[in-house]
Amino acid sequence: MQIRMAGVTHIGRRRKNNQDSLFFDEGHGIGVVADGIGGRKGGEIASTLVVDGIRQAFLASEVIRHEEVTPFLASAVDTVNANVFGFGRNNPEYAGLGSTMDCILFSGDMVYVAHVGDSRTYLYDDGQLFQLTLDHNVENFVDRGLVHRDSLQDPRIRGAALVKAVGLTARCELDICRIKRRPGQIYLSCSDGLTSMLDDREVAALLATHGGNLQKSASALLDAANDAGGRDNITVLLARVEGR
Amino acid sequence: MPRAKLYLVRRDLEAFTGPVTAAELSKLIERMAVGLRDEVTGHCGPWIFLDDRDKLKKFYSELLPIVQAASVSGWSTDANEFRNEPTVKGPIILAKKKPDRRLILAAAFFGLAVFAAMVAWMFAGSGELSSRIIGSQIPPASELTALLQTGGEKEFVAVIQPQLPRIIDRVNRNHDFMAAWLPFLRAYAFFGPGEIDGFSSKKLRGESGVAAPADCSVKAWTKRWHDALPSFNSVALGGALPSDHWARLLAWDPHWINRRSQSGWIRPRNFYQGCVMAAVRAFDSIPGGFPADGVRARLAVLSAALENPGKAQEDGSTGKANGSTKATAFGLWTCMDLARSRTELDQCLEAPWQNLMQSDYNREKFYWSMLRLAVKARSTGDQSSWPLLRNDLQAFISGRDQSDSYTRMDYSDELHFVGAIKGVLPAVMDTTPPPSGPVKSFNEDIQIDLAH
């Protein structure tokens, strides 16, 4: 089975710079979306460090066997986290920088998704859309009993506040999930600049309309998010499993 | 032709099954490939636990009869209950063909149970088979807690060991059981190899041991110690500190660890203590001599300080004796950790460790030790120590990070507690609310135990 990929990143309509970063390699079946946080410059640096770090780790690795994917992703994110965290420590003007990260990796007949933060990865299969990742924010963590409900009483903490991000602390806990791939499936990874502007049904409708052409689908999603206001940077990565 | 509605099933945020149709989902539940504690989502819908009847009814009502049938059959729920409904009532559509099969199964099961009971009775005199059958009951949590709290480690392990596969199976399927059993699984793991086959090391570790290595198993530590052997000498004599877990662990501040969250742990009291326990066990395979003996002594002090925090406070005068015959950085760190006052801390600057204080890190550790004494002075209202400690700390802290540069232990809560070094010592404990600031990451669940 072959993998086709397409991706776009855009500053949006309100922001003065693009703190999102994107990398994908169709030949190797890997793609990364990162959304930087922590000041104008800091966010940009953080997301670039994340995307470059994952890319370098992947290119430097030998062939990754099925059972090695999870340790590889965990180790790559550990290294990237140390780099971003160290950068913040060594450059006080960028203190507090960090980044979300969604990395999608095809290996054998499985698809692996490594996820930190509130960027998202979806599966579009047979005309239906499923969110694969859990947003790492206070609201979800309270809902799942991972953070005490009293946290929401604190006016400084909003439900959408991030609980996890790459580079915020010395160690970064990430979610790694796996799913069996099937011909015709489309995987969508995106920053919250897309999902804060379009609801899931709008995303599904656009994929249904343009699904045959990945590049057109990515552009259509980006344009729709900008048409809806484009309040944040927008990054879209699409990967389709060919063979049907 | 309209497409069939599909569902995706998720287990522990790690593995997905599907997308599948409702009929396929029903078969998966029947085949026990999906449990009621797994989550399900549909097209553009939210994730819902299959045993959450209310939400399931709201978002995927077509799945309700399927999970009701599964619930009645007893599979995947531990008390035959839904998450938010004590008993299952109402029409059960998919159960129509089931009763006969269930009756046959029940009869067969009953027959087997009677047979087993008879055999057990026959063998009761030998004490072999009967103890096996009794052992198939998972002991109550209160009994296990009592064993842990009274130091009955061997008994605890002996009770858990025969039931382990069953317990692991249940915690992996059931979130509530997981929450209840996690402290016991952690105890079982760290009384032994520091890991459990078939159980996620990530869950064993939890979210709060951020400054500790991810893998704290005895196996990992054995490798670390053997790899580290050539570097012992250099570190002991004050050479450059390597960026390795073994050296960081030796530099750990036991008081800092004892002040951190112990939620979800009984013994060890948190992941750091478990990590030290595994490191100590692994060090048994290292031969003696200099400087390995210094490492061994340092591990013993850390271990004792974590096992019995109160005693570590009383042992201040033994700091020098606990080093080794030669002056090593490990002995110096112990001296600082055991100092009970500014005077005792100052003694660590004198011989035999005088020369080692040239190291930037040793000077830094000196000040983190002073912060500990400041926290103590602040919480006990010690008017004589506080002004001196405050002035020294103020000079040290200004313009630097709030974390230990080497061990990565974050002292920001301690610094906040002592009033960011600017406040005056009150007669009672500080009850000032924390200043407003950026949202703190919940990865570091830190709580200062003021009573300590």
Give the pLDDT confidence of B372-383 residue by residue, as tens digits: 888 888 777 777
Tell whether B130 is covered by a domain: no
Domain check: are B274 and B148 in the same one? Answer: no
Residue B268 included in any domain? yes
In the three-class reduction of DSSP (H, G, I as helix; E, B as strand; rest coil), residue B280 is classed as helix
Domain ranges of chain A: 3-241
Which of B238, B236, B245 has the alpha carbon at shortest distance from B276?
B245
pLDDT at A32: 96
Q: Which of A133-147, B48-62, B253-267 has the lowest mean pLDDT?
A: A133-147
Whether B322 maps to a domain, the answer reads yes
Name every residue whose Cβ is closer than 8 Å to that of residue A149 and which is 6 or more positions away in sequence.
Answer: A142
Residue for token pair 């299969």: A125
pLDDT under 70: residue ranges of chain A: 1, 39-40, 63, 146-159, 244
Task: Say yes or no for a CB contact (<8 Å) between B47 and A134.
Answer: yes
CA–CA dist B43, B131 (Å, integer): 52
* Of B408, B409, B371, B375, nearest in space to B393 by CA: B371
Copy the structure tokens of residue B192: 């032994």
Which pLDDT does position B94 carry in this prediction? 31
Residues B197 and B249 in one domain: no
Mutate to test the interface with A, among B10, B11, B16 (most CBs of A within 10 A): B16
CB spacing of A171 vs B210 below 8 angstroms: yes
- Which residues, other chains included, contact A37 with Cβ-Cβ below 8 Å and sequence gap of 6+? A19, A43, A46, A96, A97, A98, A99, A100, A162, A165
Q: Which residue has the higher pLDDT, A142 or B339?
A: B339
Rounded (10°) CA dihedral B332, B334, B337, B338:
-110
Tokens of A99: 């980044």
Range of the domain at B174: 137-203
- Which of B44, B202, B436 lies nearest to residue A129, judging by beta carbons? B44
Question: Domain check: are B279 and B342 in the same one?
Answer: yes
- In this structure, the answer to whether residues B189 and B75 fall within a common structural domain is no
Phi, psi of A120 (to 5 degrees): -130, 155
Tens digit of each residue's pLDDT (9 = 90 or more) over A169-222: 888 888 898 999 999 999 999 999 999 999 999 999 999 998 779 999 999 999
Of A130, A138, A175, the CB nearest to B41: A130
Six-digit token string for B200: 């996620």
- Does residue B131 lie within any of the structural domains? no
pLDDT of residue A237: 96
Q: For residue B156, is it within any domain?
A: yes
Q: Is residue B195 within 8 Å of B217, Cβ to Cβ?
A: yes
The residue that leads in pLDDT, B16 or B74, is: B16
Q: Is the pLDDT of residue B84 over 50?
A: no
Contact list in A for residue B437 (CB cut-off 8 A) is 156
Burial of A127 (0-12, 13-18, 19+ CB in 10 A): middle
Q: Measured between alpha carbons, how far is A107 from A28 in angstroms, rounded to an integer?
A: 9
Q: Is a pLDDT exceeding 70 seen at residue B87?
A: no
Q: Are residues B232 and B284 in the same domain?
A: yes
Q: Does B8 touch chain A (CB under 8 A)?
A: yes
pLDDT category of residue B433 using cuts at 50, 70 and 90: very low
Cβ contacts of residue B226 below 8 Å, gap of 6+? B285, B286
Do B32 and B78 share a domain, yes or no?
A: yes
The alpha carbons of chain B give a radius of gyration, in whole angstroms, of 28
Domain boundary among B176, B203, B230: B203
Say whether pLDDT at B96 is over 60.
Answer: no
Backbone Cα Rg of chain A: 17
pLDDT of res. B402: 79
B239 and B175, same structural domain?
Answer: no
Higher pLDDT, B196 or B123: B196
Residues B285 and B395 in one domain: yes
Q: Is A1 at the interface with chain B, CB within 8 A?
A: no
Mean pLDDT confidence for B90-118: 56
**Residue pair B260/B208 in contact by the 8 Å Cβ criterion:** yes
Strand residues in B6-129 grouped as ranges (E): 7-11, 15-20, 39-42, 48-49
Of the candidates A171, A193, A169, which has an alpha carbon nearest to the alpha carbon of residue A88? Answer: A169
Q: CB of A22 within 8 A of CB of A47?
A: no
Residues of chain B contacting residue A127, judged by C-beta atoms under 8 Å apart = 3
* Residue B250 included in any domain: yes
Q: How many whole angstroms separate alpha carbon A144 and alpha carbon B45?
A: 17
pLDDT tier, B444 (very low <50, low <70, confident <90, very high otherwise) = very low
Average pLDDT for B51-71: 84
pLDDT category of residue B353 using cuts at 50, 70 and 90: confident
> Does pLDDT of B22 surpass 80?
yes
CA of A201 vs chain B CAs: smallest distance (Å): 6
Q: What pLDDT band is residue B421 in, cutting at 50, 70 and 90?
A: low
* From B62-66, B309-313, B320-324, the region with the lowest mean pLDDT: B320-324
B211 and B168 in a single domain? The answer is no
% chain B with pLDDT above 90: 23
Question: Residue B164, Cβ neighbours under 10 Å: how many?
Answer: 16
> Cα(B188)–Cα(B161) distance, rounded to whole angstroms?
8
Residue of A nearest to B209 (CA): A171
Whether A70 contacts chain B with CB within 8 A = no
Could you give the CA distance from residue B282 to residue A187 in angstroms, rounded to a whole number? 45
Q: Is B400 on the interface with A (CB under 8 A)?
A: no
Q: Do A173 and B10 touch (CB under 8 A)?
A: no
- Residue B325, pLDDT > 90, answer no
The three-point CA angle B28-B12-A135 to 5° equals: 120
Which residue of chain A comes nearest to B179, CA vs CA? Answer: A145
Total of domains in chain B: 3
What pLDDT digit, counting tens, does each position of B399-415 carry? 667 788 888 888 888 88
Is the confidence at residue B63, as pLDDT, over 80?
yes
Mutant choice from B203, B261, B443 vs A, greatest count of A C-beta within 10 A = B443
Question: Residue B109 is encoded by which pair of tokens?
Answer: 């099961």
Instruction: For residues B170 and B262, state if they share a domain.
Output: no
For B440, the closest chain A residue by CA position comes to A163
What confidence score (pLDDT) does residue B392 get? 79
- Dihedral through CA A137, CA A138, CA A143, CA A144, nearest 10? 70
Using a CB–CB cutoff of 8 Å, tell me whether A82 touches chain B: no
* Chain B contact probe: residue of A78, A132, A171 with most B CBs at under 10 A: A171
Residue A152 has a pLDDT of 60
Whether residues B375 and B267 fall in one domain? yes
Which residue did the predictor score with more confidence, B106 or B278? B278
Q: A205 at the B interface (CB within 8 A)?
A: no
Q: Does residue B428 lie in a domain region?
A: no
User: CA angle, corner A63, sides to A62 and A66, nearest 5?
Assistant: 130
B235 in the Ramachandran plot: left (φ > 0), alpha (ψ -120 to 50) or beta? alpha
For residue A197, give how far its alpha carbon lies from the nearest alpha carbon of chain B (Å). Answer: 15
Task: Clarify whether residues B325 and B250 are in a common domain.
Answer: yes
CATH class, range A3-241: alpha beta
The answer to whether A202 and A181 are in contact (CB under 8 A) is no
